[in-house]
Amino acid sequence: MNLFDLENNRLITTLLFVLVILCFATLLFWFWKKIKPSNLVNEMQTRTFSWWILSAFVGAVVLFSPIIGTILLSVLALSAFRELSSISKNIRPADRNVIIWCYIAIPIQFTLAYFQRFHGFIVFIPVFMFIWIPMMLVLKGESNDIGKSMSVLPSELMLTVFSISHLAFLLNIPSSTIIPAGGAGMVLFVVFLTEMNDVFQFSWGKLLGKNKITPSISPNKTWEGFLGGLISTSLLGYGLRFLTPFDDWTAFIIPAILAISGFIGDVMLSAIKRDVGIKDTGHLIPGHGGILDRVDSLLLTSVVFFHIYFALYHA
């Protein structure tokens, strides 16, 4: 049996499953709005539209050649970094020229991911750019509030570019008997579970939510929604274990860890937006904000999943 055919079959089966869910949700909310219009169904229709866009993007990443997928992910990282740096209130006018170095770091980081240069990939942004950015700031000669800039710029680079580049590294892991669906299968696994966890937490929160977790940061987050999402995501991850090298128990536990880290990523970005006094980080997706509003959970789940995989299979 051809390993490449098996990889494609697993990817296409999962993407068809996603397509069926999206078609069902689109029709459901269309009929719901016809029968009983409400703000809730309007919000669900907007969310469904954004899921169509994200699903098409992810489909292109995993089905096209790895180099195209890597380029698409680098554009996603660039857009995320641009949004985050544009809303930051801690970046001084004097920092604008230094931000150019952050943009230069993006193709370097994704090139390291594409060629599977593990050591360079792991240390380039956290170590090299962590030193390079403060040095460039010092050479600008503007010391007022320089400490904030030294903290903010590397953190924004880590949170967006470094996080998303983990998906690019996973994407370029070749198929094997251990990973029949290849790196693309693992990318699809982590992205699909992350987005479905958001759906599950939102849905369970609307149905059963009473006890708020972070009322001052994200008032719609409830314990009922969080736990419902965690259980639902774990069960879905178990069903999609054929995309990964995980055994039955691991395929149940890892999605639960992703649900927790996805929740943290979501409320973390909510706290940032509340700090700067905005509702959305951008307007790229009509009616549902910018790139960061859609991938906030993924900024953490991609890193967590990456290191769990390498700890289990490359330790």
Paired tokens of 256: 């639960």
Instruction: Quickly list H helices, the chain.
Output: 3-35, 39-63, 66-87, 96-114, 118-123, 130-140, 146-157, 163-171, 182-208, 223-239, 248-276, 291-295, 298-313
Q: How many CA atoms lie within 13 A of 152 on its CB side?
A: 20
pLDDT above 90 covers what percent of the chain?
55
Q: Across residues 19-39, what is the average pLDDT?
A: 88
Residue/partner pairs of 244-250 with CB below 8 Å, 24 or more apart: 244/179, 244/181, 244/185, 244/186, 244/189, 245/178, 245/179, 245/309, 245/313, 246/312, 250/312
Instruction: Report the pLDDT value the prediction gives residue 93, as an integer from 0 to 100.
Output: 76
Instruction: Report the pLDDT value the prediction gives residue 3, as an integer from 0 to 100.
Output: 46
Paired tokens of 232: 């639902």
Q: How confident is the model at residue 119 (pLDDT cuts 50, 70, 90)?
A: very high
Instruction: Report the pLDDT value the prediction gives residue 42, as an integer from 0 to 100.
Output: 82
Better-predicted residue by pLDDT, 144 or 133: 133
Better-predicted residue by pLDDT, 12 or 47: 12
Instruction: Report the pLDDT value the prediction gives residue 2, as an integer from 0 to 100.
Output: 44
Query: For residues 241 and 253, is the Cβ–Cβ distance under 8 A?
Result: no
Could you report the per-residue pLDDT of 192-246, keeping only the tens digit for each?
999 999 989 988 998 888 899 988 888 889 999 999 999 999 999 999 999 999 9
User: Mean pLDDT for the chain?
Assistant: 89
Please name which of 202, 232, 221, 315 lies closest in space to residue 264, comparing C-alpha atoms: 221
| Domain ranges across the chain | 3-313
Q: How confident is the model at residue 138 (pLDDT cuts 50, 70, 90)?
A: very high
Query: For residues 11 and 188, is the Cβ–Cβ distance under 8 A?
Result: yes
Q: What is the DSSP string of 250-302?
A: HHHHHHHHHHHHHHHHHHHHHHHHHHHT-S-S--SSTTS--HHHHHTTHHHHH
Using alpha carbons, list the distances in angstroms from residue 70 to 47, 107, 308: 26, 10, 21
Query: For residues 299 and 305, is the Cβ–Cβ distance under 8 A?
Result: no
Q: Taking the alpha carbons of 242, 246, 251, 254 in that order, is the dihedral positive or negative? A: negative
Better-predicted residue by pLDDT, 75 or 146: 75
Query: For residues 220 and 270, is the Cβ–Cβ distance under 8 A?
Result: no
Could you report the per-residue pLDDT of 249-293, keeping only the tens digit for each?
999 999 999 999 999 999 999 898 888 888 777 666 655 667 888
Instruction: Report the pLDDT value the prediction gives residue 67, as an integer from 0 to 100.
Output: 96
Q: Diameter of the chain by CA atoms? A: 64
